[in-house]
Structures are given as structure tokens and as C-alpha cells.
Amino acid sequence: MAKESKNKFVPGSEPSTLVYSFGATSVFVPLIAWLLNIKAKPNKELKNIEGPLLIIGNHPSYLDPIVTMRLTKGTKVNFVAGEFLFRNKVWGYLFKKAGMIPKRQFATDAVAVKGMMRVMKRKGILAIFPEATRFVDGKSITFDEGVARMAQKSGCAMYFTRSYGAYSTYPRWTESFIRRGEIRAEFGRFVSKEEIQSMTVEEIHQMMLDELNYNENDYLREHPMKFRNRKMAAGLQNVAYACPKCQKEFTMRYKGSNYIECCECGNKVVMQNNGLLGGMTADDVVFDDLHQYTDWEKSLTREQLKDPNFKLELPCKLLKPFDPINFAYAGDGVITVTAEKVVYRGTECDAQDGVPLKKGKPMWKYRNRSIEGKTRPLEVEFKIAEMKGMVAKFGKHVEIYDDDSNLYRFKLEQGQAAYKVQQIAFMCGKNSNV
């Protein structure tokens, strides 16, 4: 029993010296920083700042913890990260040893909150990306008052970080991994404990929104950078899903290299190596950058939502968590999306009776398993007004928790619709932030 207790993961514990200080900040992070051309300006006085301390930054890409670790230069920091990152057995183990705190996205997570407060109580340093999800189009997004409340309650100081080029180096939508370019990072405003305590939660929240307001597209116009990848536009069609020329939805297709094309009218959109958009011919209708593109798409969706009869019906497969890492195919049906709710109507079986998947394919051990004869009818409803947001894998699926914290993953037949469904949840949910 003693051994089991000793090895139990306690969110908010001090990071392992071996994994964090030696493995991560001394070996892994410097190597990645060299490969990706990360230029950070650390603050040598950071270690002399008395905790508790909150390090607050934008969340443009998966690289943000690495960029922040370059800024903190060896000082132990607990990071808050999406729980989906811990589903990989090896990485999940290392992340936990490094002191990272898993948190469910857009859902109440009492265990994660306790872990964060544990860091604060021991006067440690906690790094949070309040947006809770990576940029889609290079523009920062809004967030609720949760972190502001914690800051006031814990009596901590705040230190803001800024990074430039991280989004364009590894955009959320890409299917071609990292682009070689440049990432610049630095510390921004420092806010003392006394100043935090003198502010209301609303004032702290507004300060955070102001400090984190950022548009990488505008930055690239003023500070040009170049990014290199053989498939610059791979995955772009899953966010830029509507054609600006014929205005039809889900018609944009990746055609190779650096452009996507409408399968209806032939309109082409090029992802340039400066991180901005362009056309291939004078006849192509394009926006200057992806933020302008997605803003236009959202305007189309807003108009559609004004129609009381609006609904989006999407055939899908139901996937359920099979174990802490993998999902199982457990049913078939249709999700109907309106301004008020998402409803799944179809079939389900218990996850343990389903077909376990690994990287989207049946595990070898279960390759001949079928759910035929095991399913039962299911209708489940999720109220959008109660959602803070929605997890989505663009081009593939969306994930929603029910009131009992059961996780449902809906793998969409029309994968390009995943981004639109997520945006409807943001538009009509608790934060109404788009």
C-alpha cells in the first residue's frame, strides 16, 4: 500500500527534478528550440520573485509550454494542459512526472482546480493558457473569469508572456506537422500581489483580456517572417471550408502543396510562406488572412442561426472511451445541431462491447469484433447554452460531456463540419465569444 501511495499521481505536486529540470529544460527543450529557431528572452530575476505566481500566456500552438520553458529557463513550473494530451501512455506518464495538470476542456474539473490551488498554496509557479484551446486562425479568443477568480483567491502575482510566430510555425489545423520558421518570445507585464488584491475579479479578467489580445496575421504584416513546409495548405480546408466565390459550404479541397480549391467553382486559395493568404489567378476570390476568412464564415453561420428552423444534420459514428487512452466504436447515428442543442439519435453499446480503436483503426486483438446485435437505441441531448465550448478535431470529430461527465465522441461523416459545429457552440454557449 505504501508503494502504491508513493507512486500515485497528485496534480499540483512539484515537478520531478529528473524529468523536468534535467530531461526537459536541459535536454529536450533546448534541442527543440534549436530545431525550431525559438528566440526567447528569459528574465533572470524570475527565481527571485516570491510565489505564488501565475504565468499567463496566449495559446497559439502545441509549442507554447516549450516556449514558456525557454522563458523560465530551468525554474520549475507546473503547466495546465488539456486532458486529451495525457491519453498517450508514454507522454501522459512524462507529462505527469513533469508536474503538468490535466484538465478537461470546456467542462468543470474539480480535480484540476484542486491541483492548481495546491501549486498556489505551496507558493509555486503555475503556467496557464486561459483561452483553454489553441488559436484557429491566428487571432486570440476570449475566455471566462475562472483564472481571474483563482488569482484573487490565491493572493498570487501575475506575469504575462508574449510569443510571436508560434501559431504560424504549428497552426492548429495543419495536417503536415511543423513549418520551419521563427518564434520570438518575451515576458510582458508583471502585476504584483498587492495590485491583484486591489482589483475586482472583473477588473482582473479585463486586464487579462487586454494583455492577451493578439492577432498574428497583423504581426506578420508588420514583422515579416518566412515559414517552410512542402504541404503548407494541408488541413486548411477543414477550417476554410466555405468557398468565398460561390459561397457553398464544405466544398474546399486540399489539392497539394500550398493551396486548396473549391470542387464546385474551381476557386483557389493559397497559403503563402509569409503566413498570409493569396490567390493563384486574378479570378480567384480570397481573403488576406485566415482570420478574415473565418470571420466571413462565422457571419454566414450567424445569418443561418437567425432562422428559427435552422438545423444541421450530420451522420456520424459514436465513439466512447475504452480505456484512459483509446476509444471504441460503439454506435451509429445522426447528430442534429440547432442554436439551442445538439441531439444524437442512433444506437449505442457499452464501450467494452464495442470495437476498440487505435489511430482510427480496430486494434489487432479486436480486428474481427462487430457491434452487430449488441446495440440499443439511444437519444441524448446536450444543451448548447450550458456549454463553455466544444472540443473538436477539425476534419474528423467533436467531443461533448454530458451532465454526468460521460464523454461522447462523434466522428462525422462530413468531417469539414466539425469546425462549424464547434463555432455554433461558441456562438450560442455560455461564453458567446464569437
Residue 104 pLDDT more than 90? no
Max intra-chain CA distance, the chain: 72
Class of domain 312-428: mainly beta
Give pLDDT, residue 183: 96
Is the link from the previous residue into 315 a cis peptide, with omega within 30 of 0? no
Reported as a pLDDT band with limits 50, 70 and 90, residue 260 is very high
Contact 392, 419 (CB under 8 A): yes
Region 371-386 average pLDDT: 95
Tens of pLDDT along 267-294?
999 999 999 999 999 999 999 999 999 9
Give pLDDT, residue 40: 93
Mean pLDDT for all residues in the chain: 92
Which of 57, 75, 10, 53 shows the shortest CA–CA distance to 154? 53
Per-domain boundaries in the chain: 2-222, 236-305, 312-428
Give pLDDT, residue 352: 95
Give pLDDT, residue 272: 97
Reported as a pLDDT band with limits 50, 70 and 90, residue 434 is very low
CA distance 324 to 87: 6
Residue 304 pLDDT more than 90? yes
CA distance 101 to 79: 6
Residue 428 pLDDT more than 60? yes
Amino acid at 81: A
Residue 348 pLDDT more than 90? yes
Region 108-112 average pLDDT: 82
Give pLDDT, residue 82: 81
Give pLDDT, residue 7: 66
CA distance 236 to 259: 8
Reported as a pLDDT band with limits 50, 70 and 90, residue 308 is very high
Alpha helix (H) residue ranges in 227-286: none
CA distance 122 to 125: 9
Q: Which helix (H) or strand (E) holds 332?
A: strand 327-337
pTM summary value: 0.90
Tens of pLDDT along 142-168?
888 989 999 999 999 999 999 999 999
Give pLDDT, residue 433: 47
Q: Phi-psi bin for 415: left (phi > 0), alpha (psi -120 to 50), beta? A: alpha
Reported as a pLDDT band with limits 50, 70 and 90, residue 106 is confident
Assigned CATH for 2-222: 3.40.1130.10
Region 26-46 average pLDDT: 91
Reported as a pLDDT band with limits 50, 70 and 90, residue 432 is low
Residue 3 pLDDT more than 70? no
Reported as a pLDDT band with limits 50, 70 and 90, residue 430 is confident
Greater pLDDT, 21 or 210: 210
Contact 328, 355 (CB under 8 A): yes
Give pLDDT, residue 21: 85
Give pLDDT, residue 4: 39
- CA end-to-end distance (rounded Å), the chain: 50
Give pLDDT, residue 6: 54
Region 2-14 average pLDDT: 68
